[in-house]
Amino acid sequence: MSHELRTPLNAVIGLTEMLKEDAEDDNLDDYLEPLDRIHNASRHLLTLINDVLDLSKIEAGKIELYFEQFLVSDIMRDIMATSEPLAQKNNNELILDNNLDFDSIHSDQTRVRQIVLNLVSNACKFTENGQVTISLNSRAKGEKEFLDIAITDTGIGMSEAQVNKLFQAFTQADSSTTRKYGGTGLGLIITKHLSRIMGGDVDVSSVEGEGTTFTASIVINANSNENVEADAIKYDAVVLGDTDKVSSSKAEHTILIIDDDPTVRDLMKRQLERDGFGVLIAEDGPLGIKIAIEKQPDAVVLDILMPGMDGWSVLRTLKASKETANIPVIMASILDEKNRGFSLGAADYLSKPVERDRLISSIEKLIGSGDGKTVFIIEDDDELRFLLREALSKEAYDVMEAENGKVALEELEAAVGSPDLILLDLNMPVMNGFEFLEIYREKFGNDVPIVVVTGADLTEKDKKFLSGEVTRILEKTPDTEGTIAGDVAKVLRNVRMG
C-alpha cells in the first residue's frame, strides 16, 4: 500500500521542482507562485500519507526503534533551527529552557526528534504573537530515570472536554478548530504511541484562552527490556554491554562476528580489518559462543536472524556466562527495510522519490563524478526515468535507459563495453528487478555496481536475495532525482577505491 500511495507523488513533486528551476532560470516569475502551491500541497499530502502509514505500523505492532548514544544538546540545536520558521510564521518567540545536568542519553534519536517536532509544530500552529517554550528536565521513577520534554505555549488553550478528545486519530479539539487550523490529529496520537513504545508517555495540561503544556517523557538510558511495547519493536542495531571497554587502539583488539550469511561476514571482516581490528568469524550461534569463551574477543557483532540458535538465544547465553558476560555485544538485524548496513549487503538506502543532493552525494562517494561515466537506468516509470536522466545528465553522466529487465539485458548484450553503474527498479512488468539480477550476475558477473531504487517494502526473502547482489538500495522519496547523481558518484568512487 505504501508503494501505491507514494508513487503518484513521485512525478508530481519531482516535475514541479524541475519546472520551478526552469521558471527561475527563465525569469518566469508568474509561474513560481502556482508551482510553489503545487509543490507545497504535494509535500503536505506526502506528510499525511506518512502519518497514516506510521499509525498503521503502530497499530500493527511493527514500529521499529534504533537505540544509540547521542547528545541532547545536538538534537535540540537541530530542533530549534528546524522549528524557528514555524514560530516566526505566527510571530511567536521560541525559547529553550534546558535544566539537565547531563547531555548524553541512550534512546532512539530519530523518534525523539519526531516527538518534539510534532509537539512544537502543534504549539506554533495554535499560538499567535506569543511564546513557545521547550523545557528539559529529568526525574527518577523507581529504578528508571526519565527525560521530560515539556512544550508550553501561550496559545488558545483547551477545555477539559477538548483535552479528553485529543488523542483520537483524525480528531481535533472541535470542528471549528479543524476548519481554522486544519490537520488530522494524527500527529498527537503518533507522538503518544511513540513515547509509550520508548517507555514513557505524553501528558497534557491546558487552560482555555491561556495556553497548553504537552509533556513527553522517555527513558534516558533505554534498552529492549525497558519498552512497554517491546514486542512491537525490531532492532536495527542495539549495542549491549560496556562498549567503552573497546579501546580506540584498534590494532590491539579483536572483534568476533557471528552471522550465518557468508557475504555479510566477509563484508564486515574486510571493513573491520581495513580499520585495523583483528577479526574472528563464526557461522552460527554455538560456534560463536565457543569462540567467545576460548578467545575472549573485545566485542561481538551478532546477527539476530540465524537458523537453529538465533541471536537472542546467543545473547542470553553470553550474558549468563561469567566468562563472557562483560563482552560488549552489538546486535545487527535486517528486520527493517530502511536499516542500512552490511546485513543487507547494500552501501546505502534512499527513499523514492530521492532528493537530488543526497543522490548526487551518494553516487559521487561510490563512483566519483560524471566526466563520461555511464549510468544505466532500468525503471518502468516514464516520469521517474525522465527525472533521473535529467539529473544525471546535468552532472555530466552518460545515460542508458530501459523500461524493464528484459529490454535492459538485450541492450547490455548489444552494447560495446559495460556501464559504470546500474540503477535498478525492483517492481517492473515483463521482467522485474529480481529476475534481472539473477540473469545479469550469471551472464555479466559482479564487476558493475548495482543500485536498487525502490518504493516497495522489502520482505525478508527479498533482502536475503539482495544481500551481496547489490551495492546500494535507494528508497524512492519525494527527492530521488535530487540526489541520484551524488549517489552514483559515491558508488563509483568506492568501487574505484576498492
Query: CA-to-CA distance for 281 and 259, rounded, in angstroms?
Result: 8
What value does the mean pLDDT take over residues 309-330?
Answer: 80
Question: 94-103, 152-161, 362-371: which has the minimum mean pLDDT?
Answer: 362-371
The tens digit of pLDDT for each residue in 221-254 reads: 866 444 433 333 333 333 333 333 333 344 457 8
Look up the CATH superfamily of 342-497: Response regulator (3.40.50.2300)
Query: CA-to-CA distance for 19 and 243, rounded, in angstroms?
Result: 50
- pLDDT at res. 459: 59
% of the chain exceeding 90 in pLDDT: 20
Query: CA-to-CA distance for 173 and 160, rounded, in angstroms?
Result: 10
Quick check: 16 and 56 in contact, CB under 8 A?
Answer: no
- The count of other CB atoms within 10 Å of the CB of residue 320 is 9
Buried b / exposed e along 412-423 (16+ C-beta atoms within 10 A): beeeeeebbbbb
Question: 1-15, 93-107, 158-172, 385-399: which has the minimum mean pLDDT?
Answer: 1-15
- pLDDT at res. 206: 93
Task: Give the confidence band of 216 by pLDDT, cuts at 50, 70, 90.
Answer: very high
Query: In sequence order, which ranges of 26-108 are alpha helices (DSSP H)?
Result: 29-59, 72-89
Nearest to 453 by CA among 333, 330, 331, 363: 363
The tens digit of pLDDT for each residue in 121-130 reads: 889 988 999 9
The tens digit of pLDDT for each residue in 173-200 reads: 454 444 444 455 677 888 888 888 888 8
Q: Residues 9, 349, 22, CA angle at the centre, nearest 5°?
A: 45
What value does the mean pLDDT take over residues 278-303?
Answer: 89
C-alpha cell at 362: 551518494
The tens digit of pLDDT for each residue in 68-117 reads: 888 999 889 988 988 888 899 899 999 999 999 999 998 888 889 889 98
Question: Over 90: is that where the pLDDT of 58 sits?
Answer: no
The tens digit of pLDDT for each residue in 381-434 reads: 887 788 888 888 888 888 999 999 999 999 999 888 888 888 888 878 888 888
Cell 558493475 belongs to residue:
448
Q: What is the CATH number of domain 237-332?
A: 3.40.50.2300
Alpha carbon 181 to chain centroid, angstroms: 29
Question: Over 70: is that where the pLDDT of 51 sits?
Answer: yes
Q: Is 12 helix (H, G, I), strand (E, B) or coil?
A: helix
Cell 579483536 belongs to residue:
254
Classify residue 305 by burial, with Cβ atoms within 10 Å: 0-12, 13-18, 19+: middle
Query: CA-to-CA distance for 288 and 265, rounded, in angstroms?
Result: 13
- pLDDT at res. 471: 54
Which of 280-284, 388-392, 446-450 has the highest mean predicted lDDT (pLDDT)? 280-284
Q: Is the dihedral of CA 52, 55, 59, 65 positive or negative?
A: positive
Residue 140: phi and psi, rounded to 5, are -105, 140
Report how far apart, in Å, the C-alpha atoms of 131 and of each of 137, 154, 261 are: 19, 6, 54
- Counted residue by residue, the chain has a size of 498
**Are β-strands 278-282 and 254-258 bridged in parallel, bridged antiparallel, or unpaired?**
parallel
C-alpha cell at 141: 521513577
- pLDDT at res. 334: 42
H or E, element range at 141: strand 131-141
Q: Tell me the fold of 68-226.
A: Heat Shock Protein 90 (3.30.565)
Alpha carbon 170 to chain centroid, angstroms: 25
Quick check: 31 and 21 in contact, CB under 8 A?
Answer: no
Task: Give the confidence band of 341 by pLDDT, cuts at 50, 70, 90.
Answer: very low
Distinct helix (H) and strand (E) counts, the chain: 16, 17
Cell 566477509 belongs to residue:
266
Query: CA-to-CA distance for 406 and 431, rounded, in angstroms?
Result: 6
